[in-house]
Amino acid sequence: MPSVPKTSQEAVVAAARDLIDVGGLESLSVQAVAQAVGVQAPSLYKRFADRAALIRAVTMDLVAEIAGQFDAVATTGSPVSDLRALAHAHRQFGQHSPHLYQLLFRPDPHGEVPPDAFAPLIAVMMDRIETVVGKRDALPAARLLVSFTHGFVSMEQAGAFRLGGDLDLAFRYGLDRVLPSVTTPTPEKKTRRAK
């Protein structure tokens, strides 16, 4: 008769995620996760081949959760208001879970996470942008919005805003200027006809 597993894949992923949330990616090891779920490290290798597999599982779990949160906030009925809500949700995630935020935006030189894994995370934003500016401009517009938001969050996390002032106001100020750029379609270039 097969032995009953002492832990589940969900519990292992949750423990790995908690370790990263508290101590950053450096704190993640198979041994630490095994200890957190009350099993011996070798038993985790039956579920996850290595640390990279744990990172991939945590990333996929995180993407699914945040995608759900983004879907929940983007319900105003106005694409521009939805984009504003998404930008604020993006920033709030960075403020509340800086290590998990960094996990999503870190370089992935070893290909631990497939590039298309992030598609659910940006789907709602791409939909709202495409509604306003069309398919041709959607990707550059999305990149502009994410660049502003991620740049702001990264500087905030690094303590790089050293001149004081209200950062909430500064974020809204920036959004008020970026959103019109993101939501204005690029005019079609008219080609001159040869005479």
What residue segments make up the domains of the chain, in order of their start?
9-182
pLDDT tens figures, 2-11 = 333 578 899 9
The answer to whether 51 and 96 are in contact (CB under 8 A) is no
pLDDT of residue 6: 75
pLDDT tens figures, 146-175 = 999 999 999 999 999 999 899 999 999 999
What is the reported pTM?
0.86
pLDDT of residue 194: 53
Positive or negative, the CA dihedral 146, 147, 149, 155 is positive
Domain 9-182 is found in CATH 3.90.1170.50: no
> Which parts of the chain have pLDDT scores under 70?
1-5, 109-111, 189-195
pLDDT of residue 195: 53
Phi-psi category of residue 179: left, alpha or beta, with phi > 0 → left and psi -120 to 50 → alpha? alpha
pLDDT of residue 2: 38
